[in-house]
Amino acid sequence: MYLFRRDLFQNGLSLKSLSETILCFSLDKSFQLRCSNWDADEFTNDQKEGSTEQTNVNSQGDPRRYKKKPLGVGYSVRKSPLYDNCFLHAPDGQPLCTCDRKKAQWYLDKGIGDLISSDPFVVRLRFEPSGRPESSVDYYLTVKENLCVVCGKRESYIRKNIVPHEYRRHFPIQMKDHNSHDVLLLCTSCHAVSNYYDNNLKQQLAVEFSAPIGCEEGMRMLEDPIRRQVRSAARALLHASKLPVNRREELLSEIRAFYLVDDVTEETLKNASNLETR
């Protein structure tokens, strides 16, 4: 490495020198070519060849710039299957649902279920369940394969939340309690494509309906940092009665500067504590 660096500096760091040292290719840097009319409407053949050679040498300088990562690289894939396809049965033997192995084993460990079969893993409950499936083709009775639901790939898959977390958190409890049908498996490539279109739609919904974008940390990035700081200062002054005198004065100064006032009243603090930051 030292010898390589030494040769570079000895031979010079011009494009012509680097091309000869690294690529063993000699660029035409003759005086006639360099001082030819490069503002002409049409280049000569020598100019075209020289320009093409220089472009090719430039492109060889750092091949990493031109190397594209495969779609989906950077995702953390699952290390275990999502679906174990274990079954829970009612005391009379009616299938209730499929579940993962951990949940099925929990009923056995608690002594409220009996193992009926190991393959497939079937547990019969010892108590009457609170509900039963309406038909034999109910979604929760369906055996689910561990593969991408778009392209069918059976490895390198990730959970896909059909309803984004930032929307789901505003749903009524009954619409988000123990629901698994809004979680699907996608391979890394299909997941990346899906996220691209998701983000486009989220941006559109944010503009049209002020819908939230991203997680709480992402939401903070969309906030006005000054207004957010003023709001935090006002809330601290309203609710933290034991603030040190110097800290209290710092917070008051922020609010005075924001509202361009000399005196901060109780009403000013209340207004500042409810300040919109987005």
Query: In 10 A of CB 87, how many CB atoms?
Result: 19
User: Would you list the DSSP string of 89-131?
Assistant: E-TTS-EEEEE-HHHHHHHHHTTSEEEEEETTEEEEESS--S-
Query: In 10 A of CB 241, how many CB atoms?
Result: 7
| 240-259 pLDDT per residue, tens | 778 888 888 999 998 888 88
| 8-67 pLDDT per residue, tens | 445 555 655 655 555 565 656 666 666 666 566 676 777 667 666 666 655 555 444 445
Contact partners, residue 108, CB within 8 Å, separation at least 6 = 114, 115, 123
Residue boundaries of the structural domains of the chain: 2-60, 82-144, 146-215, 225-273
How far apart are the C-alpha atoms of 69 and 45, rounded to whole Å? 37
Q: Which band of pLDDT confidence, cut at 50, 70 and 90, is reported for residue 139?
A: confident
Query: Which residue matches tokens 């035409």?
Result: 28
How far apart are the C-alpha atoms of 85 and 98, rounded to whole Å? 5
Residues 84, 103: contact at Cβ < 8 Å?
no
